[in-house]
Amino acid sequence: MRVLGIETTCDETAAAIVRLRPDGCGEILADEVVSQIAEHVAYGGVVPEIAARAHIDYLDGMIEKALEKAGVALADLDGIAAAAGPGLIGGVMVGLTMGKGLALASGKPFIAVNHLEAHALTARLTDGLDFPYLLLLVSGGHTQLIGVLDVGEYRRLGTTVDDAIGEAFDKVAKMLGLAYPGGPQVEKAAEGGDAQRFEFPRPMLRRPNADFSLSGLKTAVRLEVERHNTLRAGDIRDLCASFQAAVVDVVVDRVRMGLRLFREKSGPPRALVVAGGVAANGAIRGALTRFSAESGLRLVLPPPKLCTDNGAMIAWAGLERLRLGLTSGMDFAPRPRWPLDPDAERVHNGKA
């Protein structure tokens, strides 16, 4: 079984082809990704209109290249998958329309994929992991703890009530004059910094739910920055180290609560899986490695390339759906919002 996956929900244009191996894992036959960072860097963040236009420029050539690298023709595929949301609507429309068009032209089944589901299922592509497991999804747009129970069966255990963790890294970087995207820059600056110099808050620590909040921490960093007339390199290092240490404490505490909630509701998980761009952070990876060892829990950290947005995860999620007969019609509409757990969304909206 071979599936083409198309990803255009944010600022990465990606096309990949994944094959199902007899052992149940996936094999990536081609994985083309173009990051648009250079196009957005002058604005300090992703500009939706620029992103959509760049997807149009790149996508067809990348699909051609992926097919060529995999050594397959459209006719050899078993299905065509495209991310249909959640994300920036202009970009989603580009990928979704391309996927539908190719499916229509080739007579292959079409699968509309939820981008979050694709992140959630990546550990099965890389490690053949069985359900159920606990997923920490930490990217620029999402910060969630999710019980992954089966294909299409997700329970949101916690979410951020304000900023996503990646977003907080990006905003802190901006305050300190570091480049976008800020996460890797903050991590680099934190090396050799004094994590004890600034006592930043650890929002939500020990709260009996698994939710996150980042805006108070971000504000504390901003107030500290404003107290300095000039920021020396050493100050920036210490601010980054102190901020990152606070994030690490919060992440470990929230994962601990998420694990408790998971066990109460669904029994023991088979593993803790971390996905999303923030999963590239060495301090967070290290802390979660220690935490899972202490908890006797298997930790699955897909390689950074598969943690950030990519086409292979869309192809794999499409493949998982295709083999269950879960295909989509040509009338599938793009979805700027598309929660994995609709029940959680209702509760959240009810509170708001």
Picking from 64, 3, 71, 7, the residue whose alpha carbon sits closest to that of residue 33 is 7
Q: Contact at 8 Å (CB) between 319 and 26?
A: yes
Taking residues 87 to 126 in sequence order and writing x for each that binds Zn ion by CB under 5 A, - otherwise, the string is ----------------------------------------
- DSSP character at residue 272: E
Q: Under 8 Å CB-to-CB from 188, ≥6 apart: which residues?
A: none
Name the one range near ligand KG4 by CB under 6 A: 69-77, 138-146, 206-214, 231-239.
138-146
Q: Which is nearer to ligand KG4, 242 or 327 (CB)?
A: 242
Q: Contact at 8 Å (CB) between 85 and 71?
A: no
Both structure tokens of 99? 């996927």
Taking residues 270 to 289 in sequence order and writing x for each that binds ligand KG4 by CB under 6 A, - otherwise, the string is ------xxx-xx--------
The pairing of strands 153-159 and 272-275 is unpaired
Taking residues 125 to 154 in sequence order and writing x for each that binds Zn ion by CB under 5 A, - otherwise, the string is --------------x---------------
Q: How many Cβ atoms from other residues are within 10 Å of residue 338's Cβ?
A: 20
Q: Which is nearer to Zn ion, 147 or 311 (CB)?
A: 311
Taking residues 173 to 192 in sequence order and writing x for each that binds ligand KG4 by CB under 6 A, - otherwise, the string is --------xxxx--x-----
Q: Is 242 a binder of Zn ion (CB under 5 A)?
A: no
CA distance 28 to 247: 33
Q: Which is nearer to Zn ion, 121 or 239 (CB)?
A: 121
Map residue 281 onto helix, strand or coil: coil
Q: Cα angle vertex 331, ends 330, 337, to 5°? A: 115
Q: Is 310 a binder of ligand KG4 (CB under 6 A)?
A: no
Q: Which is nearer to ligand KG4, 79 or 302 (CB)?
A: 302
Q: Is 166 a binder of ligand KG4 (CB under 6 A)?
A: yes
For Zn ion, the binding residues (CB under 5 A) are 139, 309
